[in-house]
Amino acid sequence: MTITSPHLGSSEAWTDARLLYALEEVVEKELNRHLRVAKDWMPHEYVPWADGRNFPGVFEDGEAWEPGQSKVTDIGKTALVVNLLTEDNLPSYHHEIATLFGRDGAWGTWVHRWTAEEGRHGIVMRDYLLTSRAVDPDKLEQFRMAHMSEGFESDNRHSMLHSVAYVAFQELATRISHRNTGHQSGDPVCDRMLARIATDENLHMVFYRNLLGAAFEIAPDLTMQAVRDVVVNFRMPGHGIPGFERAAAQMAIGEIYNLRIHHDDVLQPVLRFLKVMDIDGLGPDGMKAQEELGLYMGGLDDEAARFDEKLAARRARLAARAKG
């Protein structure tokens, strides 16, 4: 099946300001839908407060942190820290999207609502980590200070369409990362908490995915180029976290987030839902971007297959070693 997208004026006519205005009605519709289906929840209800005790410092009876005090797995701890530090940079994310999308009308209402919902995630994750003693509280705070002190600048801040395309994929990537972290955490309490966060992230993805679909209808060539650029150059917002590359490698091996997951569970679902590779009626630039996107996805699938083979070989070695 193909989708025909009419050209509504030349690509050169679409400035960010015009696109924001043209999509305002869609934003209002998606905002209203989001508010109907989103459920408010209380972060404190997901934290095992009864497991908490004082740390040394102000409290003389404080108990020093030790690695064995938590039931969370090692890979769960690594991923939880990465996910939390990513959420911690919310002030910078808010600044980026508020500057790009504006603070007025439906766009502004969405920006503030999204920020408020995302704020819950950092609150509940930090409370859980400290109460369950899953991580060293001193190091966690040192990482937070280092990461936030660097700030955050989006790779896509130059373009409204690139930013919409990015968050359509990134919100799903975050949802998958949280959900898989919960599954691998070894703690049912952590799993429930991250499932709740993942539900929010999925609703955010749906908002941006539907907005991206509307952008394809009014500016297909520019939107196709934006999607091509974002997919080819995609990286998670937490890439500036201290030790991120090592943590990302561990998360890849631990099957929380890796090339196969990125291809199969993040990129493909959005591209397939929007039928991006079936859109016709594109101009030369749009057709070129669509072709390059298809080639990249094929290459990424091949790369993911090679990663799968290495991961399987690693599992086999570990199993053989365990048998003695």
Binding residues: 87, 118, 121, 171, 201, 204
Q: Residues comprising the binding site for Fe cation?
A: 87, 118, 121, 171, 201, 204
| Polymer length in residues for the chain | 324
Beta-bridge mates of residue 59: 56
Exposed/middle/buried for 291, CB within 10 Å: 0-12, 13-18, 19+?
middle
Q: Count the alpha carbons within 13 Å of 54 in the hemisphere toward its beta carbon.
A: 7
Instruction: Return d(Cα 256, Cα 176) in angstroms, integer.
Output: 8
Q: Do residues 187 and 195 make contact, with C-beta atoms less than 8 angstroms apart?
A: no
Closest C-alpha among 314, 134, 144 to residue 238: 144
What is the secondary structure of 206-235 as a DSSP string?
A: HHHHHHHHHHHHH-HHHHHHHHHHHHHT--
152 phi, psi to nearest 5 deg? -150, 135
CB atoms under 10 Å from CB of 157, counted, come to: 15
